Copies of this chain bind each other. A is one copy, B any other.
Amino acid sequence: MNLHGKSLLSGTAGQTGGKTFRAVNPATGEALAPDFHEASAAEVTRALDASAEAFADYRARSGAERARLLDAIATEIETLGDALLQRANAETGLPLARLTGERGRTCAQLRLFAQVVRDGSWVDARIDPALPDRQPLPRPDLRRMLLPLGPVVVFGSSNFPLAFSAAGGDTASALAAGCTVVVKAHRAHPGTGELVGGAITRAVASCGLPPGVFSLIHGGGATIGIAMVKHPATAAVGFTGSHAAGRALFDAAASRPHPIPVFAEMSSLNPVFLLPEAVRERSAAIATGLLGSFTLGVGQFCTKPGLVFVARGPEADALIAKLAEVVRAAPCGTMLTSGIREAFLGNRDKVTAIAGVQLIAAASAAANAAKTEAEPSVATTSVRTFLANPALATEAFGPFTLVVVAESVADFAACAAALEGQLTATVHGTAADLAAARPLLAALEQKAGRLVVNAFPTGVEVSPAMNHGGPYPATTDVRYTSVGTAAILRFARPVCYQGFADALLPAALQNANPLGLLRLVNGQPTRDAV
């Protein structure tokens, strides 16, 4: 598969001549051909101007047309075949089996969103027919639905080169909503970005849509990202990555003359609370389940459980001993980039250097720095040390977890209260444990976007009921999910039509209900005509 290393600017390749960079295979340290060319400021402007122009067309396309595009993107990605997986594997070190699964998830996600927009009811159509005889004043005819926001800037993530990058969840939901998209390709996997961006470009063309519907920008550092966020045409931003980068984008968006929403998914410790009967009944199973979850993908999931709370006692000791045992036997893994590995080791060392924290086990196998490897490890501390050191609630993105030993479950409430916003919070318990833990569950409801019982938080389903979000700093907007069909709602806004003749209304709001939508008529849900 030949790569040209250029940005994709509404269907055409960008320029060469500026700075270049290469992807690096983290498993070998090898710099991968070809050179990638950083886009210029003028190219960023060109991409967003084209996006704004294409939006004027694409926004008015029917749900069926948008669905056709999403389906076509999925097919084009599949048509890339093994070459895509091989390039992604070389750029990320993620195993081919994982990437095969991620490609399946990416295409299923596109097709699920296609289904949602083909169905169309997501636009939340509401009709309050005129009441000409109402006293003291007549009511006009009012009809409201959701319309797309405008051009969306998407920042590809490091840890999901397919499912949360060029054609990932943010792009799929923006295109589903009727928005055009400009992707900032992740610098660690630019070739994957070019391949997927090419697939999207071909799908846009084959669907007869204006090429400005999609662009993909290569670039480095914060400058180009901030420029994309600050461009006047940009209407919203999707981002998955670090807290520092996400906050910088949020601040840039909030300080615009016209502020825009930023959906940044940033940082989460994903605390796990282990209740006493569950620990007594199945400490070994919990220990091995925990190992599997915090080392999955070499600990590089945003839902990795990085904090575990357990109450002191012989069963807790047994669980911790088992956890130490399985950690020692666990294999090392190649991390996504050397930068991520260094940040991981730095954050882990910061945690374990705090007085009162003990590193109790690490994988026996030696991590090979030349292969960008990190070894799984686990530390313990007391509730007192945890509550006294807010730094212990800093995410260490990688295969590490910290077990906090409480004096009793009564301490869990204070621990929950001390937590920052989280994507997930997990509780293991028997029915009796859980019945007694209702106050803890209520506290966690206020801290996290998803509560998990008797399972582990890694593994995020793409479905209507998923919520992948949470209070800051888990995300910058607690009101939305970035995974699942509700993610489309991030990129839409309501508009009300008053006194419109039927023929002038969007199809979704016409009397006959030609799209067959579920609508709220006089506040009551119905598929009937008006």
Q: A499-B452, A499-B455 are in contact. Are A434 and B140 (CB under 8 A)?
A: no
**For window 414-452 of chain A, which residues contact chain B by CB distance below 8 Å?**
421, 431, 434-435, 438, 441-442, 445-446, 448-452
- Cα distance, A435 to B500, chains bound together (Å): 11
A466: interface (CB < 8 Å):
yes
A22: interface (CB < 8 Å):
no
A177 shortest CB reach to chain B, Å: 11
Among B60, B442, B518, contact of A60 (Cβ-Cβ < 8 Å): B442
Chain B residues whose C-beta falls within 8 Å of the C-beta of A150 in the assembled complex: 446
Q: A259-B476, A442-B60, A445-B147 are in contact. Are A450 and B518 (CB under 8 A)?
A: no
Interface flags for A283-297 (1: CB within 8 Å of B; 0: not) read: 000000000000000
A128 touches B463 (CB 8 A): yes
- Cα distance, A54 to B390, chains bound together (Å): 26
B496 touches A450 (CB 8 A): yes
**For window 481-506 of chain A, which residues contact chain B by CB distance below 8 Å?**
481, 485-486, 492-501, 503-504
Chain B residues whose C-beta falls within 8 Å of the C-beta of A258 in the assembled complex: 421, 471-473
A445 touches B101 (CB 8 A): no
A126: interface (CB < 8 Å):
yes
Stoichiometry, as copies per complex, reads 2
A140 touches B455 (CB 8 A): yes
- Cα distance, A128 to B463, chains bound together (Å): 7
A498 touches B261 (CB 8 A): no
A356: interface (CB < 8 Å):
no
A488 shortest CB reach to chain B, Å: 12
Chain B residues whose C-beta falls within 8 Å of the C-beta of A359 in the assembled complex: none
Q: A128-B461, A504-B434 are in contact. Are A451 and B121 (CB under 8 A)?
A: no
- Cα distance, A495 to B447, chains bound together (Å): 10
Chain A contact-residue range equals 35 or more
A101 touches B465 (CB 8 A): no
A387: interface (CB < 8 Å):
no
Chain B residues whose C-beta falls within 8 Å of the C-beta of A486 in the assembled complex: 126, 144, 494
A292 shortest CB reach to chain B, Å: 13
A18 shortest CB reach to chain B, Å: 33
A314: interface (CB < 8 Å):
no
Among B56, B144, B435, contact of A467 (Cβ-Cβ < 8 Å): B144
Chain B residues whose C-beta falls within 8 Å of the C-beta of A434 in the assembled complex: 501, 504
Chain B residues whose C-beta falls within 8 Å of the C-beta of A498 in the assembled complex: 450-453, 455
A64: interface (CB < 8 Å):
no
B492 touches A479 (CB 8 A): yes
Q: A459-B137, A466-B142 are in contact. Are A504 and B441 (CB under 8 A)?
A: yes
Chain B residues whose C-beta falls within 8 Å of the C-beta of A499 in the assembled complex: 452-455
Among B128, B463, B495, contact of A445 (Cβ-Cβ < 8 Å): B495
A113 shortest CB reach to chain B, Å: 12
A495 touches B518 (CB 8 A): no
Q: A258-B472, A501-B431 are in contact. Are A144 and B452 (CB under 8 A)?
A: no
Chain B residues whose C-beta falls within 8 Å of the C-beta of A452 in the assembled complex: 498-499
Chain B residues whose C-beta falls within 8 Å of the C-beta of A261 in the assembled complex: 477, 479
Interface flags for A393-430 (1: CB within 8 Å of B; 0: not) read: 00000000000000000000000000001000000000
15 contacts between A and B (CB under 8 A): A101-B136, A144-B465, A149-B478, A149-B479, A251-B254, A434-B504, A435-B504, A450-B496, A451-B498, A453-B501, A463-B523, A464-B523, A466-B496, A467-B494, A479-B493
**6 nearest A-B pairs in the assembled complex, by CB-CB distance:** A467-B496, A254-B254, A126-B465, A142-B465, A450-B496, A128-B465
Q: Knowing that A147-B445, A250-B259 are A-B contacts, what are 8 other residue pairs whose CB atoms are under 8 Å apart, sorted by A's residue number? A: A259-B476, A434-B501, A441-B504, A445-B495, A451-B495, A453-B501, A464-B520, A465-B496
